[in-house]
Amino acid sequence: MLIGAVADDITGATDLCLMLSREGMRTIQVIGVPGDDMEFSGADAVVVALKSRTIPASEAVDMSLASARVLLAAGAEQLIFKYCSTFDSTDAGNIGPVAEALQDLTGTPVTIACPSFPAAGRTVYKGHLFVGDRLLSESPLKDHPLTPMRDPDLVRVLQRQCSRPVGLVQADIISRGPEALKAAFAEQYATGKRILVVDTLTDADLRIIGKACAGMKLVTGGSGVAMGLPENFRQTKEFTPPAKTARMASPPGRAAILAGSCSAATRGQIEVAEAAGLPVLRLDIAAIAQGRQTAADLADWAIHSAGDQPPLIYSSAGPDELAKIQSVMGRHESGALVERTLADVALRLKDAGFSRFLIAGGETSGAIVEALGVKVLLIGPEIDPGVPWTRSISGPDLALALKSGNFGAKDFFLKAWDLLEMETEDA
C-alpha cells in the first residue's frame, strides 16, 4: 500500500477512491475502522470510510487514530485525512482535532488543509471557500441540516477547531510551482504555523500542490488533494487509469433510490426524477415519529411499485421546513430518526431481492451501508465528478452509488443506471 486514507464520511470516501483510481491506483474502500488482521494485498491505496463528521470530537479522534494505525502498520507511505470539499464541520470540530491528532501520530511537523475540488465547483481564494460563484456562507451549505456553514474564511474556521496556529498559502505562491510552495511551507513553519490552508483555483494548482506534498507524511483535504499525489509514487510503480467508458457488472435484482440529503442539488434531482415519471414517495418524519408511517410501509410501497423505473423514497426538505422540523424534534434527533428509517427500508428491500441502490447523502449512506452489513467496496465507473458506482465485495453482493448530497447533474437519478450491466441469475 502506498496511500492510506481516513475519510470522515462514506460518500467522501468513495469520492476520494474515485480520484485515486482515476489516477491509476488500485484502490479499495473499507467501511469502518479496519481490524489489525485485515488483508490489503494488491491495493495501491486503501480508504477507510468512517461516520465521524458530526460525532463528538474525541470519538472522531479515536476512530481516526485507530484506522490510521492499521493503515500505517500495513505499510502506507502517506496518509490522507479526507473531509468535505465544503469543509462541513462545527466549531467544536472535527477537522481540526483529527488533523492535529494524525499529525502527532505521523510526526508531520507541518501539513496542509486543501478542501478544493474545482471539478465540482469548490475553490479556495485568499483562504475563502467558494461553492460555484458564491462564498460558502452564501451557498446552500449555509442551511445544511447538521453542519450549517456560515463562515467562508477557512483560516478562521479551522483556527476555531485547532490548538496550534493555522496559516495560509495564497494562490500567487502556488502558481510559482512546487519548489516555491515547499519553500512557503518551510517559511510558515518557521513562523510557528502548523497547518496551512492552501488556495486552489484549478486542477493544475492541485497537481502543483501534489508535487509539493511528496514525502509529507500527512496531507488533509477534499478528494482534490489526492489528484497530484499518485504521480509522486510513479518512480516506484506504474499505474494504469481505468478506461473512461467502462461499465460495471451488477448483481441481478431490482433497483431503488433512497435520498436523505436535503441539499439543493439532491432536491433538484428528485424533481427531475419525478417529472420523468419515476415512482416517488416522501418519508414524512412527523408521521414516522407518531407511528402513522413506518419503514415497512415505505419498503412495501417500493416492493409493489409498478413498471421498470426504480422507485425513489426521499425525506429531503427545504430550509424552512427543515428549520420547523428541527425546532420541534431537535437537529440531531430528527436526522438520526430519518437515517434509522431509511436504513431499515434499505434492509427490507435487500431482503426482498433489491441489489442496486442509489443513495443520496453522506450521513444517510453511512447509516444505510452499515445496516446492510457492507464491509468493503470496489470502485467502478464515474457517474459524475466525485460519484462512482461501487460493488460490495464483502457482505451482501450489491451495486451501490453513494452520492454526496451536493454532487451530480440534475438527471443523476435517471442516467446513473446506464453504467450498470446486469449479470444473469446463473452468472
Ligand X SMILES: Nc1ncnc2c1ncn2[C@@H]1O[C@H](COP(=O)(O)OP(=O)(O)O)[C@@H](O)[C@H]1O
Binding site for ligand X (CB under 6 A): 144-146, 260-263, 285, 315-317, 322, 325, 334-335, 338-339, 361-364, 404-405
From candidates 21, 27, 67, 85, binder to ligand LB5GJZVW by CB under 6 A: 85
Q: How far is 209 from 175, CA to CA, in rounded Å?
A: 10
Q: Considering beta carbons, is residue 47 or 368 the nearer one to ligand X?
A: 368
Q: How far is 256 from 258, CA to CA, in rounded Å?
A: 7
- With CB under 5 to 8 Å by kind, the binding choice for 335 among ligand X, ligand LB5GJZVW, none is ligand X
Q: Considering beta carbons, is residue 40 or 117 the nearer one to ligand LB5GJZVW?
A: 117
User: Distance of alpha carbon 128 from its chain centroid, rounded?
Assistant: 21
Stretch that binds ligand LB5GJZVW, among 11-19, 104-112, 160-168, 281-289 (CB under 6 A): 11-19
From candidates 29, 309, 406, 413, binder to ligand LB5GJZVW by CB under 6 A: 406
From candidates 1, 3, 6, 9, binder to ligand LB5GJZVW by CB under 6 A: 9
Binding track, positions 358-397, relative to ligand LB5GJZVW; x by CB under 6 A: ---xx-----------------------x-----------
From candidates 210, 222, 380, 385, binder to ligand LB5GJZVW by CB under 6 A: 222
Contacts of 157 (CB under 8 A, 6+ apart): 87, 89, 91, 151
Query: Which residue's entry shows cell 493555522?
Result: 166
Q: Which of 148, 120, 118 is nearest to 136 (CA)?
A: 148
Q: Are 102 and 27 in contact (CB under 8 A)?
A: no
In order of 311, 313, 352, 404, the CA distances from 307 in angstroms are: 9, 16, 17, 27
Q: How far is 32 from 67, CA to CA, in rounded Å?
A: 8
From candidates 52, 108, 223, 293, binder to ligand LB5GJZVW by CB under 6 A: 223
Q: Considering beta carbons, is residue 126 or 324 the nearer one to ligand X?
A: 324
Residue 69, C-alpha cell as written in the block: 494505525
Within 13 Å and on the Cβ side, how many CA atoms surround 179? 0
Q: How far is the CB of 55 from ligand X (least distance, A)?
A: 12
Q: Which of 230, 189, 186 is nearest to 206 (CA)?
A: 230
Residue facing ligand LB5GJZVW at closest CB distance? 362
Q: How far is the CB of 280 from ligand LB5GJZVW (least distance, A)?
A: 21
In order of 28, 75, 246, 376, 384, the CA distances from 242 in angstroms are: 14, 24, 8, 20, 15
Task: Give yes or no for residue 12 binding ligand LB5GJZVW (CB under 6 A).
Answer: yes
Q: How far is the CB of 364 from ligand X (least distance, A)?
A: 4
From candidates 121, 127, 230, 405, binder to ligand LB5GJZVW by CB under 6 A: 405
Q: How far is 189 from 351, CA to CA, in rounded Å?
A: 55
Q: How far is the CB of 363 from ligand X (least distance, A)?
A: 4
In order of 40, 252, 253, 393, the CA distances from 425 in angstroms are: 30, 6, 9, 17
- 227 by DSSP, 3-state: which? coil
Q: For binding to ligand LB5GJZVW (CB under 6 A), which residues are involved? A: 9, 11-12, 15, 84-86, 117, 222-223, 361-362, 386, 404-406
